Chains A and B, each alone.
Chain A
Amino acid sequence: MNEDLTTAAILLGIIHSGIRLATPYLYAAIGETFSQRSGVLNLGVDGIMLMGAFFGFYTVFQTHNPWLGLLAAGLVGAVMALILCVVSITYQAEQGISGIGLYMFGLGMSSLLFKTMLGTVEGVKGFSELRFCFGDSFCLADVPVLGDIFFSHSLVTYGAFALVPLAWWILNRTTWGLKIRAVGQNPEAADSLGVSVNRVRYASVTVGGVLAGLAGASLSISLLNIYQENMTNGMGFIAVALVYFGSWKPGGVLLGALLFSTVNALQLWVQVLNLNIPSDVAVMLPYLLTILALALPFRRALQPAALTKPFARGEN
């Protein structure tokens, strides 16, 4: 009887953490979806996340206003993305390499800023978890099971999930989304109809950068409320993989992010509970899953045809 209760509690814990942990993946991967659907592979997501995490954290540390932190993270994400735009859209540099460059820059810069401006690991009061209380006594968060799963997260987490249908709607139901899909699939055709391919790509990559910045901030001012060096630990790269995993569709990305974060949560609980599995194996589990998912060949057919290909009108 007691054991059953423990098992149920652990399961709930895993689901709860899974939803929480999906937050940064969702922001980053939905952002990367916009970028890739327009034909630009941004491998620098992790670097942007680190910068977003630092600036978000530092702003809250100074102003004690988490909304300002979110704003700062989004802005720095946009600036980072614009660097990539100039290099790989305007100057048509190889996208994979420039993305790695952006990542290295973000990693180094955020560490430098951390050392000079903070020095030690500090904590802030970021976005707190909502409880959906009505009156003094009744809170939705206290409802058994459902409360834990649905009604005890921060606004930042709800925002991440709200992003999924929003992104789907933009991509499939708006004129802007039609342009994004067209320049990612056949930029010459879009150009011949008077669509400015590079302008659409700048916009899409910048949106991706803002969301990557928010992804970083979701770690430092919502989930963990601390900042430490390289705190993303490669999450940005996983986000890129999730876009492939999700076949460049917001719904697919959601599925991938949830699967990944749940396995990740499982892995954390395996460590916490001291089960008889080496923790290294547990840590490997989500990454192994990613590799297996990416190896499925049919996904490649769904890839935007012009992904990683710079566009030039070709006056030759």
Chain B
Amino acid sequence: MPFAIHYLLGIGDMANSSNLLPSGLPRIESLEMRGIVKRFPGVLASDHVNFDVKAGEIHALLGENGAGKSTLMKILYGLYQPDEGEVFLNGERIVIHSPTDSIKYGIGMIHQHFMLVDNMTVAENVALGLPSSREPRLDLDVVSARIRKLAEKYGLQVNPNSVISKLAVGERQRVEIVKALYRGAALLVLDEPTAVLTPQEVDDLFVIFRQMAADGHALIFISHKLGEILALTDRVTVLRDGRAMGTRPTAGATKQDLASMMVGRDVLLERHRPPAERGPVRLKLDNVNAINEDGVPILKHVSFDVHSGEIVGVAGVSGNGQRPLARGIAGLHEVTNGRIYLENDDITDLSPAQMFKIGLSYIPEERMHDGVVKDFSVAENLILQDYVRRPFSNGIFLAFKYIAEHAKKLITAFRVKTPSRDTPAKNLSGGNIQKLILARELARQPRILIAAQPTRGVDIGATEYIHNQLLKQRAEGLATLLISEDLDEVKALSDRIVVLFGGEVMGIVNSDEVTIEELGLMMAGEKRAELA
């Protein structure tokens, strides 16, 4: 018998029985996907994949971007229809046509991008799409009471009357979980649930996940963060290029094992960062302030410097001023107060074109939007700033021969995988587009490099390459400002780390002397460090 929402009427009364969940619903003892095939034009996104999960288990789905994790889960949730393959629930074959079906079967999904209507309350978001006990009227008081009960049972702090837009990211995550539990989810798909959380919030979330598994829920945990998978899950299935590379118990596995399975060859996860040979100050921010379009301050009295031969990392939870900081230095966001210096020159009010001319290179966060012109060829994208200058042009006509040679040289040097130099940039993979941008920015022999999220969504192989390039340039004396939400990346590459919270510098610390926990507290605004 399919699960139905009116089971919830019996919350608490039925929870004593052993094969029921705390929400009062029956468990999903097993769910199995067999031989799942999904084709998209030109891509085999899912190639005869087998996958299964049991009650009480946290099963990790690991793979790089584009390996087919999301496709598989969207099939499970009814958002995509498989071309081949079958799904079995407790041994019985089921067909999932839409999210309505999957919800009925007790499958819940926490999406990577929160699926919340942000101008509505928590209770309204939970009630959405469900029948009311007083049709056609809403029964938000009843819904709120049930939310409170559920929240109490699972130790989730949620206020049903809060409006979503006023909630912090961690709270929104809890609302998503409550939403799924409220609908009677016995199996939860967690699609990269930690992407926007601080280390402490991640710890709290894992406690909740472990409790849910102990209570008999089945959990599928999608991630590409090896450390989290090792810390949380019982089994792990690795996907590569749409194929399942195998399933194994997490216990006994190492990061290195998983990375090799994921990439298909041995990769170096550790980065070798020799002691910095610091030169003179290259970039200096002096009391920089900025506001957003609503006039709200988003950078407050930001001061730090970057030396030649040094990588300075900027850590912080997404949306705490990293974007305006990068864009402000690059001349793309107005600085309302304070000065920015490149060596001794005041560059605060220069235009982006002037910035490029004096030796600033910028790897923007939105690579498809700000980093390349999607319909331009690889060769054209490599001269986006310098096309007006010799030797690329004589002022009127482009020097096509030189441009072609330039492209050839960089494609080889930076190992950009592209069918040809005339291929439009949009046809390249994320990792190769990022290498293309890196090639362009570094070939200009900059005095300062601003790298914003240089490896986000990039595969492990390309990440390794980009990291090594950044370290190589550092050895050659480049000053780099590395802005990243990946704490491991910041810590591995940076000599010093600037922590931002609410647009303010919470501290500047030496990378080798700070722990991830300390960084996490600073990122949450709970701790200030002495300025190093």
Contacts and interface: CB of A to CB of B under 8 A. Distances in A.
A173 B118 contact: no
Contact of A174 (B111, B118, B138, B179): B138
Nearest to B139: A175
Contact of B117 (A177, A182, A315, A316): A182
B128 A193 contact: yes
B136 interface: yes
A309 to B, nearest CB: 14
B80 interface: yes
Given A191-B99, A192-B109, A179 B128 contact: yes
Given A175-B135, A188-B115, A192-B115, A316 B40 contact: yes
B132 interface: yes
B64 interface: no
Interface in B99-118: 99-100, 103, 109, 111, 113, 115-118
Contacts of A188: 113, 115
A174 B131 CA distance: 10
B99 A192 contact: yes
Contacts of B129: 179, 182, 190, 193-195
A180 B77 CA distance: 23
A296 to B, nearest CB: 15
A174 B179 CA distance: 19
A185 B135 contact: no
A178 interface: yes
A173 B138 contact: yes
A235 B438 CA distance: 56
B120 interface: yes
A186 interface: yes
A122 B188 CA distance: 67
Nearest to B183: A193
A179 B129 CA distance: 7
A63 to B, nearest CB: 34
A224 interface: no
B37 to A, nearest CB: 14
Contact of A175 (B116, B119, B127, B179): B127
Contacts of A194: 98-100, 103, 129
A266 B131 CA distance: 48
Nearest to A186: B117
B68 to A, nearest CB: 14
A174 B136 CA distance: 5
Given A174-B136, A175-B138, A316-B40, A181 B115 contact: no
A192 B136 contact: no
A188 B116 CA distance: 9
Contact of A195 (B77, B116, B128): B128
B115 A178 contact: no
B144 to A, nearest CB: 14
Nearest to A191: B99
Interface residues of A, number: 22
B129 to A, nearest CB: 4
Contacts of A10: none
B137 interface: yes
Contacts of A193: 99, 103, 115, 128-130, 179, 183
A48 B132 CA distance: 34
B115 A185 contact: no
Interface in A191-229: 191-195
Nearest to A192: B115
B40 A190 contact: no
Contact of A181 (B109, B117, B136): B117
A11 interface: no
B365 interface: no
A16 B460 CA distance: 74
B79 interface: yes
Contacts of B441: none
B124 interface: yes
A291 interface: no
Contacts of B179: 193
Interface SS, A side:
helix
A303 to B, nearest CB: 11
A188 B117 CA distance: 9
Contacts, number: 73
A191 B118 CA distance: 15
Contacts of B100: 194
A186 B118 contact: yes
B98 A315 contact: no
A8 interface: no
B111 A178 contact: no
Interface in A39-86: none
Contact of A192 (B111, B118, B131): B111
Contacts of A189: 115-117, 125, 128
Contacts of A195: 128-129
Contacts of B111: 192
Interface string B5-20: 0000000000000000
B128 A182 contact: yes
Contacts of B77: 192
A267 B132 CA distance: 49
B245 to A, nearest CB: 25
Nearest to B127: A178
A176 B136 contact: yes
A185 B124 CA distance: 13
A298 B124 CA distance: 25
A182 B104 CA distance: 21
A306 to B, nearest CB: 10
A185 B120 contact: yes
A144 B92 CA distance: 77
Contact of B120 (A173, A182, A192): A182
B117 A190 contact: yes
A177 B119 CA distance: 14
A174 B137 contact: yes
B175 to A, nearest CB: 11
B99 A315 contact: no
Contacts of B79: 192, 313, 315
Nearest to A185: B117
Contact of B80 (A186, A190, A315): A315
A216 B137 CA distance: 31
Interface in A135-185: 173-179, 181-182, 185
Interface string B327-360: 0000000000000000000000000000000000
Interface of B: 40, 77, 79-80, 98-100, 103, 109, 111, 113, 115-120, 124-125, 127-132, 135-138, 179, 183
For the complex of A and B, 8 pairs with smallest distance between CB atoms: A194-B100, A193-B129, A189-B115, A195-B129, A192-B115, A186-B117, A174-B136, A194-B99
Interface of A: 173-179, 181-182, 185-186, 188-195, 313, 315-316
22 contacts: A173-B137, A173-B138, A174-B136, A174-B137, A175-B135, A176-B136, A178-B127, A179-B128, A179-B129, A182-B120, A185-B117, A185-B120, A186-B117, A186-B118, A189-B115, A189-B116, A190-B117, A193-B103, A194-B98, A194-B100, A194-B129, A316-B40
Given A188-B115, A193-B179, A195-B129, 16 more contacts: A174-B138, A175-B130, A175-B132, A175-B138, A178-B127, A179-B129, A181-B117, A181-B120, A185-B117, A185-B119, A189-B117, A190-B129, A192-B79, A193-B128, A193-B183, A315-B40
